[in-house]
Structure 1
């Protein structure tokens, strides 16, 4: 069990220092963000690293269909941009190639290796609280997706330009 904690701490330190050295936030869904997420899974599984829910997603959880901040097109467009920053590109945005086949295979291999590091991973995640944190994050993402869809419909109905 000590080896698992040491590896998780090492992964956390390596990836955390690489991310802070870069000094910029990674775009959700980018290759760098996916690599960081895979490398830090053991640290999140044992509770050494917690994901923070962006404030725009927290507010969406409170009221995904609220009309607050939607008095004019500028407010709607600003909020839509905030959601795009937190959630990544929307479905109808111009597509970007999501990496090569070799990259996707490497990602799957990396995920498989990381998933075998912690025995009884599901139990460990429940005991450490990381499974509950993931459920809260997923609920916030779901609310954010609903809010973004609501705002897009509202913007279209009002003739707002993005």
Structure 2
């Protein structure tokens, strides 16, 4: 048994609290891992992802170029930039994306605090909810690809997000 796992987790959380905003979100997520394992704290699935999960290939009500661009933009806001989005200062490319080692270590430590974590997640319903969230994210990516395909078929160029060169 590891000595003082909770004290280490809290100390690591305090050390990492001075990190940048995106790192602060990761630290907060890691710190609430035991609560999410108990299904006490859970993030709501955004409505745009719920709609995508219910009908990822439904033709949108507004199938104009601006309507398609708005649908893609709404999904981009929830999912983050698409894989082929050009790299910018706030949007690193796929190869540059990755988790910070310190926040990963904090996450693993927070997960290790709870004994029999897998069983606790199953019994509390957290595992089932995590699968629902994962399915909604996947459906959102499928929906975004479908909308981009419709926009390409309609030759919508001006209102679409820029593609990489």
**TM-score bin, normalised by smaller chain:** 0.7 to 0.9
Of 98, 117, 120, the residue aligned with 2:116 is: 120
**Counterpart in 2 of 1:131?**
127
Whole-Å Cα distance in 2 between the matches of residues 92 and 34 of structure 1?
Answer: 24
Bigger-Rg structure (1/2): 2
Unaligned runs of 5+ in 1: 1-6, 19-25
1:152 aligns with 2:152: no
CA RMSD of aligned residues (A): 2.3
Contact 2:23-2:103 within 8 A present in 1 as well: no
What is the DSSP-based 3-state SS (H/G/I as helix, E as strand, rest coil) of the residue aligned with 1:49? coil
- Show CA shifts across 1:41-81 (max 9, x none): 11100121122100000000111000023420111111101
**Counterpart in 2 of 1:106?**
102
More relative contact order, 1 or 2 (CA 8 Å, 6+ apart): 2
Contact 1:69-1:76 within 8 A present in 2 as well: no
TM superposition score normalised by structure 1: 0.75
**Counterpart in 2 of 1:80?**
72
More helix by share: 1
TM superposition score normalised by structure 2: 0.74
Deviation at 1:88, TM superposition (A): 0.9
Contact 2:72-2:148 within 8 A present in 1 as well: yes
**Counterpart in 2 of 1:62?**
54
Whole-Å Cα distance in 2 between the matches of residues 74 and 89 of structure 1?
Answer: 18
